[in-house]
Amino acid sequence: MKRDFFRTALACGLLALGSTTQAQTALTDIDQAVKAAQAKQLPVFIDFSAIWCHSCHEMDAKVLNGTDWDQRQSRFVLVRSDADSVNGSTWMKKLSVPALPTYVVLNPDGSERGRLTGEFTRAKFYPALDRLLSGADSLSKLKADALHGSTEAVAKVLRAYRDRNQQQEGLRWYASLPVATRNAVKADPDASTRLAAIEAHAEMTAMIEGGRRDMIDAELRKETDPAKRKAMRELIGPLPASMPVSRRAALAKDCRVHAQQALNGPMELEQHFDIAGTLLECTGTLPKPEQKALVSAQLPALKALYDTKIPTAGSGALRGATYTLASYYRALGDSAGEQATYQRAIAIGRKALGDGHGGFDVKRDQAMAEVFGEFLSRYGSPSDKNEDLALQKAMVEAYPDNAFYQTEYGGSLLRQGHAAAALPYLQRAADNASAQNKLGYTHSLAKALIALNRRPEAEKLFNAALQTAEKQFPTETKMEMTVWKQSGGVL
């Protein structure tokens, strides 16, 4: 998926329509924003983001700025919510926000009016935002329009459920519509494609969840150490009910049918690769020869789309499309094709960011720099390692307040045995970390201190961060501690 790194203030006013429009300073606490909205009787615009979110950077740099953005700020109370803060994570759970970036519009009373999820072009974002702010595309209005036969409204409601990761609920809502409306949807290319996509996603999710119990049981049986098995069991939590193999196979078959229907309809670039990934996921229950035949049939069109569109697309499309295409090659056992796909992505990133002198201009496209760095570190050749480190260094120098970049670079130095060089970066990361990242970043800092023979200081810092984390995020902290213990101890 995953990802801004949003700051707490907006740019200054711009000249618009012959007058100056002053951009408002964003709030960071959603509860405070709702109170301000109630006093002003304005909606709330929540920008959910995080410092590790490359798509958030993409939107911040290319969409949420300029006259278009500033002119609309008098129409809402703006809040830039860090998804890793206590307040942000609480509201994300409350509003069922499963991915970043997500932009939610609340009514003055705090109820949701609607949302926009993912990356948008400027040309598509602002008309969609205007319709949300006016109430024309509020979820309640769209559902009312759908009841009166609007296939466009049906498609938008289905997307709203998809954006909440509530596909099953969306399908139940769709099934409640009049027969005439459902027939009209099936005859409408856009609406029927949206329907097929959400059906495929819902079937894939149910299929995977249905097989999760068997996979978990198998993994637990492999572990012969009772203590480790107990720790694994605690980490997993409540187990899902088992599902008959025949039922999972039926879901997978329906998923393949619906995914192929969606792929044959009108879809945007990122959606196309997303649904292609869903199709591949649902081939796993097939015998190997049948799976390879289906994957081989899809691959040429997928590769042609990648070759023609992805080199000039944004970082989000590059990331998603690369992983999907590589997974198709992997399903065929074609490791050379898989690696070539990653190398193509690396070459695209290198071309986008190269400064002409062997270095990188990471400020040219921050989101692309993140995606390029991800592929370079994971799939680069041994000769690319120095380039990867140089890119990380460029990122910490260009964005010194970004704790994620600091801990990434510091962690790389630490793994190379340069604890003293890593220390200031890891210290800066721990000092500037959001609440949900504080424990993990402090853990890395403590490791560096231990490597420098400063264990008492390391344990004091880590234990203080642990106490806070246990209060703020008890479930997540327990899981993190279990993982560390399983991998050889906390410190």
What is the residue-averaged pLDDT of the chain? 91
User: Chain centroid to CA 451: how far?
Assistant: 34
35-85 residue pLDDT tens: 999 999 999 999 999 999 999 999 999 999 999 999 999 999 999 999 999
pLDDT tens-digit profile of 400-440?
999 999 999 999 999 999 999 999 999 999 999 999 999 99
Distance CA 128, CA 224 (A): 55
First to last CA, the chain: 30
Q: Which of the four pLDDT bands, split at 50, 70 and 90, describes residue 23? A: low
Alpha helices in 178-314 (DSSP H): 179-187, 189-222, 226-236, 245-263, 269-281, 288-309
Model confidence at 488, pLDDT cuts 50, 70, 90, reads confident
| Alpha-carbon dihedral 53, 57, 62, 66, rounded to 10 degrees | 120
Beta bridge partners of 19: 16
Higher pLDDT, 253 or 18: 253
For helices 269-281 and 315-331, angle between their N-to-C axes, nearest 10 degrees: 30
Which stretch of 20-34, 74-88, 242-256, 281-295 has the lowest confidence by average pLDDT? 20-34
Average pLDDT over residues 435-456: 97
Fold match flag (288-399 vs 403-491): yes
pLDDT at 13: 33
Give the closest residue to 209 by CA, choosing from 254, 248, 236: 248
Torsion angles phi and psi, residue 320, rounded to 5:
-65, -45
Picking from 346, 319, 202, the residue whose alpha carbon sits closest to that of residue 262 is: 202
Helix (H), strand (E) at residue 60: helix 54-62
| pLDDT given at position 302 | 97
Dump pLDDT digits (tens) for 191-211.
999 999 999 999 999 998 888
- At 113, the amino acid letter reads R
For the domain spanning 178-285, the CATH number is 1.20.1260
14-137 belongs to CATH 3.40.30.10: yes
Q: What would the CATH number be for the domain defined by 288-399?
A: 1.25.40
Percent of the chain with pLDDT over 90: 81
CB 47 within 8 A of CB 78: yes
pLDDT (tens digit per residue) in 319-374 = 999 999 999 999 999 999 999 999 999 999 999 999 888 889 999 999 999 999 99
Q: What is the pLDDT of residue 115?
A: 96
C-alpha 270/C-alpha 316 separation (Å) is 8
pLDDT at residue number 24: 67
Instruction: Give me the pLDDT at residue 403, please.
Output: 97
pTM of the model: 0.88
Residue 206 · residue 171 · CB < 8 Å = no
Q: Would you state the pLDDT for residue 238?
A: 73
Q: Quick one: CATH architecture of 403-491?
A: Alpha Horseshoe (1.25)
Question: What is the structure's pLDDT at 382?
Answer: 87
Is the predicted pLDDT of residue 17 greater than 60, yes or no?
no
Mean pLDDT, residues 218-237 taken together: 73
**Domain boundaries in the chain?**
14-137, 178-285, 288-399, 403-491
CB 318 within 8 A of CB 348: yes
- Residue 367 is encoded by which pair of tokens? 């989101």
- What is the pLDDT, as a whole number, of residue 215? 73
Confidence bin at 93 (pLDDT 50/70/90)? very high
CB atoms within 10 A of CB 380: 19
